[in-house]
Amino acid sequence: MATVTTKLEAVNTMMTSIGETPVNSITSSTTTDVSIAIQILDNVSREVQSVGWHFNTDTRYKLTPNSSNQIELAANILRIDTSGASASKDYVERARKFWDRTNHTYTITDATVETDIVWYLEFTEIPEAARRYITIRASRIFQDRMLASDTLHKFHQVDEVQALAVLKESEGDTRDHSIFDNYSVYSVTDRDNYQPNKSTLD
């Protein structure tokens, strides 16, 4: 029975990309090559997820100031911005806390702040399409660093492009994009409710 790609399988894909023997574990007695593969896999996962996909983004996520009236950001937040009722607030990330650019302070007086957050998720928490793209991209980078073969590079690059296309298709399916999400587009189709200003017709 086929299952989603595990982190061990991802690392072994990377190992075989340079002609190395797969390993049975990545938690103990790892070789230098395996350690490098794990590091590259984690870095690529962070890079890909920082784009902000449907699977790792929460919208209008409410944050509450602590007892010091500061909002400290979790270590796995890759990107954050105010949204919803808090969209007008000019808060930015600084020193892993929210900084009020208007008042030049870390002190947040709002009871809660609505935000859009892009999270860094562990490899086991992301969808298969993302796992596969990250694995193939990491394999290409790993092979480039360890062997620097133009032939293998082109081979992995083709796979990488195809895997990215699958990930984008999956993103489109799950995000449920609609032209009606954009009012400037929706207003053109909303002719039944259009009430012209009488003065413009005189």
For residue 95, name the pLDDT band (cuts at 50, 70, 90): very high
144, two tokens: 């480039």
Q: Tell me the per-residue pLDDT of 160-201, one tens digit each, with 9 for 90 and over.
A: 999 999 999 999 988 765 555 554 544 544 555 545 554 444
Give yes or no for residue 3 having a pLDDT over 80.
yes
Asked if 56 contacts 80 with a C-beta cutoff of 8 angstroms, the reply is no
Tell me the C-alpha distance between 180 and 63, whole Å: 29
Q: Tell me the per-residue pLDDT of 121-154, one tens digit each, with 9 for 90 and over.
A: 999 999 999 999 999 999 999 999 888 767 766 7
Closest CA to 116 of 74, 161, 160, 86: 86
Q: Which residues contact 176 (CB under 8 A, 6 or more apart)?
A: none
pTM higher than 0.75: yes
Closest CA to 38 of 119, 121, 138: 138
Q: Which residues contact 120 (CB under 8 A, 6 or more apart)?
A: 45, 46, 49, 50, 56, 76, 77, 78
Q: Residue 180: its pLDDT value, please?
A: 52
Q: Residue 189: its pLDDT value, please?
A: 47
Mean pLDDT within 25-52? 91
Residue extents of the structural domains in the chain: 7-50+122-175, 57-119
Q: What is the DSSP letter of 47?
A: H
